[in-house]
Chains A and B, each alone.
Chain A
């Protein structure tokens, strides 16, 4: 008896074949991960690197990964989408578009962090390695074809972000934002995981391809499985927290305000992109069968986010907090796109909901990093450490640093959705997608919310261009004294690059829209 079991086990071991991995197809992730590990290892074994080298290494790694993703893009458009590692990872233009977005975010945030970290105990490889690891997590989320893989990516991203949020050890606000993010993020992850477990019970698998196959063939349409619906509800709660949709947004302002500004920029760009990619994977790609159940929920979340985000942003007095609420309202716009994608999810012609969301994610990522980069530079100039990001410190910025004020104006106009900026292309995309699906009500609410939110951006602009700077700040700037405003070279490059991208895409959006349109041919 025992021998039989042993031989059986041995025979099973003999018969085990590892899945086909497709290493080159995974090269963007592997490059980021390898870069993070190399930075940690080499950084630990060598004396402090010369000025700026850590940031350069991180930006180069992310740039390489982005370039590799573009190489993969050509492969996908030539040979069609596929799944990798035994169906666990999707290899399609959706994942590559998000990979490029996240890599772009890492490049910009690395440049921004360089000068910000100099002279603090954090000036080392660790912060950059965490950015790279977080990027890997985000990319795994965007390319997951299995809900457990998606959960692992979510946790990789989140754990890195918790540490990054709490990384400024001199600041009590940073620690507080870290623990708030950790507790609420863990809460959301648990909801997500429980949702995955219940869905597994209903579909018999966590693999997205198999989930889709089960529901297409197995379930009676009048009798949807209670287990699956409960799982769906829990998944939406978990994802709602991660994308910061109202009513799950309460952590956003505190965490965005307390975290170091470059980290906030990263959370608002790469974190949001990854969370929305996960939402598309789970709702639109894995659960199109339940689209009539989840679409009304997304509708409510979208409207609540649009209204609450825009209105609460206006009454804030801290610019980082304003931008946090504005990011909640941007989440509302993105949800408008998700709602539009829900109308024809799973059909042969899925409509323009998904392309509009991924395009929005890329354009918004660059915009928001640019905005937070200006906040970083200004608040750094007005005090030690993370400094003062109140609206007061932006008064008269146009007289102190005209170019910086001009760049911030570009970002704010783009966030408001003014034509000839990338923000207009993004907002027009999601609203057009909603109109195409005859969701007129949500499209109108979105446009009204855009007008309300514009007031917020104008308020910051008025303070920059029309108000007088506080006494003594001018002289300090002119003399280059502490308290004066100095724009570091690397941060300047990041801001200029983001502003150039914003205007360029605003004038010539066609190529990017065409690229985004291909994401509807996803793998599963």
Chain B
């Protein structure tokens, strides 16, 4: 007998994903990986929206996901543009190398 999958499991999964994303952003030094961690955090929020919408029986949480997807796609464009413009000038740069501004 397999227990039915409940929406709250997805909430736990989403919070784990969000935590992994946040932790990864803090410990990883490759700009691309840091960027992927942000996407993971956004998608954890998406999963939360869908799970809660199912739990509440409300469609609005699911439509919110579409808006977030558009935002994430726009963020990819901008983020990759900035990252490429840096890596083109300084190949292999990590977050620690970008320390011209400090004080």
Contacts and interface: CB of A to CB of B under 8 A. Distances in A.
Contacts of A179: 31, 82-83, 86, 98
A490 interface: no
A375 to B, nearest CB: 16
B44 A194 contact: yes
B64 A201 contact: no
In the complex, which range does the number of interface residues on chain B fall in?
A: 35 or more
A205 B81 CA distance: 35
The majority secondary structure among interface residues of chain B is helix
A159 B41 contact: no
A162 B86 CA distance: 14
A179 B64 CA distance: 27
Contact of A206 (B38, B60, B90): B60
A321 B78 contact: no
B98 A180 contact: yes
In the complex, which range does the number of interface residues on chain A fall in?
A: 35 or more
Given A179-B86, A182-B78, A151 B71 contact: yes
Contacts of A317: 103
Contact of B41 (A148, A163, A190, A204): A190
B85 A258 contact: no
The majority secondary structure among interface residues of chain A is helix
Interface in A167-214: 169, 172-173, 175-180, 182-183, 186-187, 189-191, 193-194, 196-198, 200-201, 204-206
Interface string B2-31: 000000000100000010011001000001
B78 A193 contact: no
A177 B49 contact: no
Given A173-B100, A173-B101, A175-B89, A190 B79 contact: no
A254 interface: yes
A518 interface: no
A200 B82 CA distance: 33
A28 interface: no
Contacts of B44: 190, 194
B58 A182 contact: no
A194 B85 contact: no
Interface of B: 11, 18, 21-22, 25, 31, 34-35, 38, 41-42, 44-46, 48-49, 52, 55-56, 58, 60-61, 64, 67-68, 71, 74-75, 78-79, 81-83, 85-86, 89-90, 95, 98, 100-103
Given A179-B31, A186-B35, 18 more contacts: A151-B67, A162-B82, A169-B85, A179-B82, A182-B78, A183-B35, A186-B75, A190-B44, A194-B45, A197-B52, A197-B61, A197-B64, A200-B64, A201-B56, A205-B58, A206-B64, A257-B101, A321-B103
17 contacts: A148-B67, A151-B67, A152-B67, A166-B82, A169-B85, A180-B98, A183-B34, A186-B38, A190-B18, A190-B21, A190-B42, A191-B41, A197-B48, A197-B61, A201-B55, A206-B60, A254-B102
